């Protein structure tokens, strides 16, 4: 494994963000849902055991399907509380969109230190002492207002209601809790589940990739400074609207949000969950700057992006629809009948991710 492969594979197979089942017994939740299903038959279509972008359900005796997602952006709240809150809200909304729905309602929970305590906001926030000259000391109350504003501004950009939430000022940790839940209504006939459906389907990236959201690279020691993802309010809105227009064609076969570990994770999980492989040319990915590296294109968590799967003959139609809404989009690869995901840049293999790492690989990833 090279360094970037190790970083991506750690995220996919070890880090709890992508492996919640290693910490939570989903079996007991599945048993609960089976029991409740006896009272509300068929109400839950996609639940926690499905490991998809969001839950899909219907209300008994009501038309239509609904989608719900909860997401946290706690650690980025230390250097950038405003952007952490906004990107947490935007990320949960994209997860709802990824299932084929339009976000409608949001609830948020914020946990922080007592409001009169001092907190350090900026790159040195985790250390508690600033040696970069860019941090700002403020009260917990002032940081709380930044967090609330971040959620509000994203909801305003996306035309999503804030319908409730919660607050705790009993936290003692450096990291605040920033958690949002989003509910939306399905615009597609069926959920657009994450697993790849067929070899030969083409992959389209919607939106531009930047150098922010480099958390996975930072943890792997590939960059010196963690740059949390920046909120892209109008870009988020344009991408959502363009993606929903593409949904209306009925030609999208699968969809994923580009969240943690970016293109690398979205492609790898989709292919693996579908029992397939993928080949991706990172050279084709729309980028915000020419300064970006292939590794950043692969893994960075820039906001306002989606991954779509379509039949080869439908690529141009979908690209035209998305671009007509002022959004960048490109075909970047295809689903294969292999057992791994291969990412190239200018013909050179940047990373090769197996669907089933050996036990030896997993032990090395844990070190």
Number of residues in the chain: 367
CB atoms within 10 A of CB 193: 23
Token pair 């067929």: residue: 198
**What's the pLDDT score for residue 65?**
97
pLDDT of amino acid 29: 92
- Across all residues in the chain, what is the average pLDDT? 94
Closest CA to 236 of 325, 311, 319, 315: 325
Tokens of 105: 């309602």
Distance CA 184, CA 165 (A): 17
For residue 5, being part of any structural domain is answered with no
Strand partners, 110: 167, 178
Q: Tell me: do 125 and 216 sit in the same domain.
A: no
What pLDDT does residue 202 have? 98
Residues 300 and 216 in one domain: yes
Residue 247 lies in a domain: yes
Judge if 249 and 280 occupy the same domain: yes
For residue 108, give the nearest of 157, 159, 158, 181 by alpha carbon.
181
pLDDT of residue 367: 79
**pLDDT score for 61:** 86
Residues 207 and 160 in one domain: no
Range of the domain at 163: 43-186
CATH number at residue 238: 3.90.650.10
26 φ, ψ to 5°? -70, -20
Q: Are residues 157 and 223 in the same domain?
A: no
The predicted pLDDT at position 347 comes to 97
Residue 71 domain-assigned?
A: yes
Query: Is the domain of 260 the same as that of 330?
Result: yes
Q: How far apart are CA 131 and CA 174, in angstroms?
A: 17
Q: Round to whole Å and give the CA distance between 308 and 201.
A: 10
| Tally of structural domains, the chain | 2
Cα distances from 16 to residues 12, 164, 175, in angstroms, run: 9, 28, 17
329 with 239, same domain: the answer is yes
What is the reported pLDDT for 35? 97
Place of tokens 């991706």: 280
Question: How many whole angstroms separate alpha carbon 45 and alpha carbon 55?
Answer: 8
304: phi > 0 → left, psi -120 to 50 → alpha, else beta; which?
A: left
Q: What is the pLDDT of residue 99?
A: 97
Phi, psi (deg, nearest 5) at residue 354: -75, 150
Residues of the chain under the 50 pLDDT cut: none
Which domain-ending residue is among 186, 213, 232? Answer: 186
């Amino acid at each position: 494994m090279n360094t970037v492969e190790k970083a991506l594979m750690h995220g996919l197979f070890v880090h709890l963000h992508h492996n919640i089942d290693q910490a939570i017994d989903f079996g007991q939740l599945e048993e609960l849902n089976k029991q409740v299903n006896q009272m509300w038959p068929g109400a839950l279509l996609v639940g926690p055991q499905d490991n998809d972008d969001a839950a899909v359900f219907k209300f008994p005796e009501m038309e239509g399907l609904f989608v719900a997602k909860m997401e946290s952006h706690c650690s980025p709240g230390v250097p950038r509380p405003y952007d952490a809150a906004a990107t947490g809200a935007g990320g949960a909304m994209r997860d709802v969109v990824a299932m084929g729905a339009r976000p409608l309602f949001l609830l948020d929970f914020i946990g922080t230190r007592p409001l009169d305590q001092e907190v350090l906001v900026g790159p040195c926030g985790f250390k508690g002492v600033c040696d970069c000259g860019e941090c700002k000391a403020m009260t917990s109350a002032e940081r709380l207002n930044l967090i609330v504003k971040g959620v509000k501004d994203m909801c305003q950009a996306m035309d999503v209601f804030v319908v409730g939430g919660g607050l705790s000022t009993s936290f003692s940790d450096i990291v605040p809790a920033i958690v949002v839940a989003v509910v939306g209504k399905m615009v597609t006939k069926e959920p657009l589940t994450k697993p790849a459906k067929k070899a030969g389907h083409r992959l389209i990236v919607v939106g531009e990739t930047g150098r922010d959201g480099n958390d996975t690279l930072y943890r792997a020691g590939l960059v010196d400074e963690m740059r949390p993802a920046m909120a892209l309010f109008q870009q988020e809105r344009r991408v959502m609207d363009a993606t929903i227009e593409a949904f209306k064609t009925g030609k999208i076969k699968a969809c994923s949000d580009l969240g943690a570990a970016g293109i690398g994770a979205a492609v790898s999980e989709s292919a693996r969950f579908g029992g397939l492989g993928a080949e991706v040319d990172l050279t084709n990915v729309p980028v915000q700057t020419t300064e970006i590296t292939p590794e950043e294109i692969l893994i960075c968590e820039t906001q306002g992006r989606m991954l779509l799967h379509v039949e080869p003959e439908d690529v141009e139609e979908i690209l035209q629809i998305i671009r007509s809404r002022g959004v960048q989009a490109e075909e970047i690869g295809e689903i294969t009948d292999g057992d791994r995901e291969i990412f190239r840049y200018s013909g050179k293999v940047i990373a090769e991710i197996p669907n089933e790492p050996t036990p030896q690989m997993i032990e090395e990833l844990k070190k």
